[in-house]
Structure 1
Amino acid sequence: MAIPPPPGPQQPGGPYPQDLARGPHGSPGSAPPYQPWGQGYSPYNRPAPVNGLAIAALVLGFLCFLPGVGLVLGLIALAQIRRRGERGEVFAVGGIVLSLIGLALFLAALSSGSAHHAWEGIKSGAHDDGAVFTVRKGECFNAPGGSLEGEAYNIDKVPCSGAHQAEVFADFTLPQGRFPGEEAVTRAAGDRCYALRATYAMDAWAVPADVDVYYFTPTRGSWRLGDRRVTCLFGNTDKKGTLTGTLRSDSTTLTGDQLAYLRGDAALYEALDAVPDDVYAQDDLPRYRAWALRVSTALDDQSRRLRGHSWPQGLRGPVAGQAEALDRARDEWNGAATAADADSFYDHCARGGALLEGRAAVTAREALGLATTPPAPEKGEGQGSADASGGGRQV
């Protein structure tokens, strides 16, 4: 029977190779049934390698990046080190400790909301040939450089009570899909923003004449980042001008009686804004007649709204006076809808328009606590050339 050597490195005087090739009685035979033990039989006696996962765990722990991953790698590294006899236990333990600290900080940030704000900041700062930032309805801001035109990469939010360049009155999302082109995006933004302005600033009389509609739109670059959002703004038509105070007049700022009055006004101004702006009445009288009939219908609806609302004692007289003025204005617009020629059409429109924003309207508005200065007529208004939609600009 072959006797295995004692544990430990082979001592001098041990069997030589030729002896290992003989049997127990010195005759040629197979090698003894044992394998070399430990590193004492290694030709160069090299040190054990450092575990790679331990190094990775330490690096992730230092960077505080993906602390959960660093923790898992550290635990796996410890297990491998003990099983394989490798080095790097200090690295693995260091990575575990640092990852635990990072994980604790991350959980604390989540509970306090800091992580959410940080992510919003990252999204707000991302841009590629365009801007992706967050500004919400009712917020006011200044644009670096002092202009609302061109591309915007960041903004400076300020209180609406002080001077500011713009006030956000609406936002919406464009459909998913391929970028439709700058012209299509601008057209969609303009149409929708002008339609939404009256939902935020219901009192058209309270909007200064030098205020117009602007909008932030996605660019080709920001579209690739997932940006589909259009932001509608009020801004000053003078590049050096500013706004002061909010223009908001909706259900969040108005009383029930003010809302009842202005809802009738909204339908009327929507009809007035539908005036044909590409031709004159003498060139297409039928279209202008149809428009006048629409205004007349809106006036009849507004008059019925005013009479159907239950007004407090102090408001009944002023509101009743405005309802009577609207009835007279409706008759004039009916005359315009049946006018035989353009001159007659303009005469009826002029008399009807004066009744819409006359003394009765000012008296009723004063009693309600609303703006009492009628909007300034736009250039060309009443002559069939007014652009009722204003002059929005793309940002």
Structure 2
Amino acid sequence: MSTPPPPGPEQPQGPQGQYPAPHPQGPYGQGPYPQGPFPQGPYPQGSYAPPPYGVWNPYPHPPQPSHNGVAIAALVLGVLCFLPAVGLVLGLVALRQIKKRGERGKGMAIAGAALSSVGLALWALAIPTGVASEAWEGFKEGAAEETLSVRKGQCFDAPGGSLQGETYDLDIVPCDGEHDGEVFATVTVPDGSYPGDDRITSIADDKCYALRNDYAMDVWAVPDHVDVYYLTPTRQSWRLGDREITCAFGNTDEKGTLTGSLRNDATTLDADQLAYLESVRDLDTVLDREPEAYAEDDLDANTQWAGEVRDAVAAQTEALRGHTWTGDAERPVTALVKELQTAREHWANAATAGDPDTFYEHYDAGYAFYDGAKTIDVREALGLDTSPPEYDYDSGEDSGGDLDV
């Protein structure tokens, strides 16, 4: 939009019926300058060329007052509903400063104070009704969920492929392909103050090793290069509500991976397979409690344990007898039951042995059935793995590791 010339003598119209562009007034407002032509200045001439001379403003305006910074802050806090009490105070302070200094921003100060008042009222309503605490709990649960992103039955890749040290995220991948780990259990630690790194590790070690056979019931099908690892809360994630230990299978070689799922439980097994493996699992649990001390050093502890094995063998025998087997499994199971009866008699004699030599005589005979030919026959008939695992009694159960989150 063009600006009309100041009042004065009528200006002659140009060819297009418009006033020619006015020229700046002289320093004392004494009429227009001559209407050119003017000598060219140092600027290039064209449709967007600067004027050839400096321009004085004939009607100067006074400078505008600046915006009050406190008013801006009050408006921001009011819009965000963040620290509403602070936003209200800042709005009132800004109004006083604006009146005293003649600054701009009165509308922003009023709006900020009003919005903060509404936010303060909402907070006052939320606290007694529990809304605020629920929101905080939701935040903590969300943070914990973000920290622990894998669940039982899922396979994952760890950053860098390592299941050692700290991590903040795991990538869930299909179990069919290569992966770094497979989650087989989760354990919730009781609430309270952080128990410390050593205590968390001890809980994870005990619980994860105890739960591994519930997920991979057929221990023969677990490769020798697979071991137990666990994700544990850190002191920082504990503050956000993280109470979960995640137990996972991983490769004993830090650079190695796993392929395929190791899961074999009620979700993947048929009724016959499940019945057999449950009976084996219960006996294995007792056999794993063998005393560390030899019979020569603590005969009582060993004979007491032998009595527990005797009862576990009897329970397995009754479980196998009580199940109705289908297909080709009935005959090999019947043969295994007869062997178990003989083994039970040896464990009974070991439980009453009066000296170490007698104990070990029946100990060896009672163990003879374990993972023997008749066991392999039953497994073959049931379609289970028929390759007995290699037991490394010297390595213990400490070759796994922990991954903090």
TM-score under structure 2 length normalisation: 0.64
Cα displacement (A) at 1:142? 2.0
Contact between 1:326 and 1:356, CA under 8 Å: does it hold in 2? no
User: Which residue of structure 1 aligns with residue 15 of structure 2?
Assistant: none
- Paired residue total: 292
Q: Find the aligned partners of 1:247 and 1:239 in 2 and give their Cα distance.
A: 18
Q: Find the aligned partners of 1:332 and 1:239 in 2 and give their Cα distance.
A: 43
Contact between 1:329 and 1:352, CA under 8 Å: does it hold in 2? yes
Q: 1:333 aligns with which of 347, 351, 356?
A: 347
User: Which residue of structure 2 aligns with residue 162 of structure 1?
Assistant: 177
Contact between 1:212 and 1:390, CA under 8 Å: does it hold in 2? no
Q: Find the aligned partners of 1:290 and 1:212 in 2 and give their Cα distance.
A: 31
Q: Find the aligned partners of 1:241 and 1:325 in 2 and give their Cα distance.
A: 40
Contact between 1:329 and 1:356, CA under 8 Å: does it hold in 2? no
> Which one-letter code corresponds to 1:270 in the other structure?
T
Asked if 1:275 is matched to 2:283, the reply is no
Cα displacement (A) at 1:274? 1.0
Q: Find the aligned partners of 2:402 and 2:360 in 1 and give their Cα distance.
A: 34
Cα displacement (A) at 1:235? 1.5
Q: 1:304 to 1:241 in 2, by over 3 A?
A: same
Q: 1:324 to 1:136 in 2, by over 3 A?
A: same
Q: 2:160 aligns with which of 134, 145, 164?
A: 145
- What secondary structure is seen at the aligned counterpart in 2 of 1:394? strand
> Which one-letter code corresponds to 1:246 in the other structure?
S
- Give CA deviations for 1:265-313 in whole Å, capped at 9, x if unaligned: 1110110111123x22321121111112111111110011111111124
Cα displacement (A) at 1:350? 2.7
> Which one-letter code corresponds to 2:374 in the other structure?
A
Contact between 2:182 and 2:261, CA under 8 Å: does it hold in 1? yes
- Alignment RMSD (CA, Å): 3.5
Contact between 1:325 and 1:356, CA under 8 Å: does it hold in 2? no
Q: 1:157 to 1:268 in 2, by over 3 A?
A: same
Moved over 4 A (4+): 119-125
Contact between 2:141 and 2:241, CA under 8 Å: does it hold in 1? no
Q: Find the aligned partners of 2:400 and 2:359 in 1 and give their Cα distance.
A: 29
User: Which residue of structure 2 aligns with residue 103 of structure 1?
Assistant: none
Q: Find the aligned partners of 2:166 and 2:361 in 1 and give their Cα distance.
A: 46
Contact between 2:143 and 2:240, CA under 8 Å: does it hold in 1? no
For 1:63-212, list aligned pairs within 5 A.
132-212=147-227
Q: Find the aligned partners of 1:206 and 1:280 in 2 and give their Cα distance.
A: 31
Cα displacement (A) at 1:144? 1.4
> Which one-letter code corresponds to 1:296 in the other structure?
R
Q: Find the aligned partners of 1:122 and 1:189 in 2 and give their Cα distance.
A: 21
User: Which residue of structure 2 aligns with residue 394 of structure 1?
Assistant: 402
For 1:19-30, list aligned pairs within 5 A.
none
User: Which residue of structure 1 aligns with residue 307 of structure 2?
Assistant: 293
Q: 1:234 aligns with which of 245, 249, 266?
A: 249
Asked if 1:260 is matched to 2:275, the reply is yes
Cα displacement (A) at 1:220? 1.2
Q: 1:240 to 1:354 in 2, by over 3 A?
A: farther
Asked if 1:355 is matched to 2:369, the reply is yes
User: Which residue of structure 1 aligns with residue 337 of structure 2?
Assistant: 323
Query: Which ranges of structure 1 fall in alignment gaps of 5 or more residues?
Result: 1-43, 70-85, 92-118, 126-131, 381-385
Q: Find the aligned partners of 1:202 and 1:390 in 2 and give their Cα distance.
A: 21
Q: 1:309 aligns with which of 301, 305, 323?
A: 323
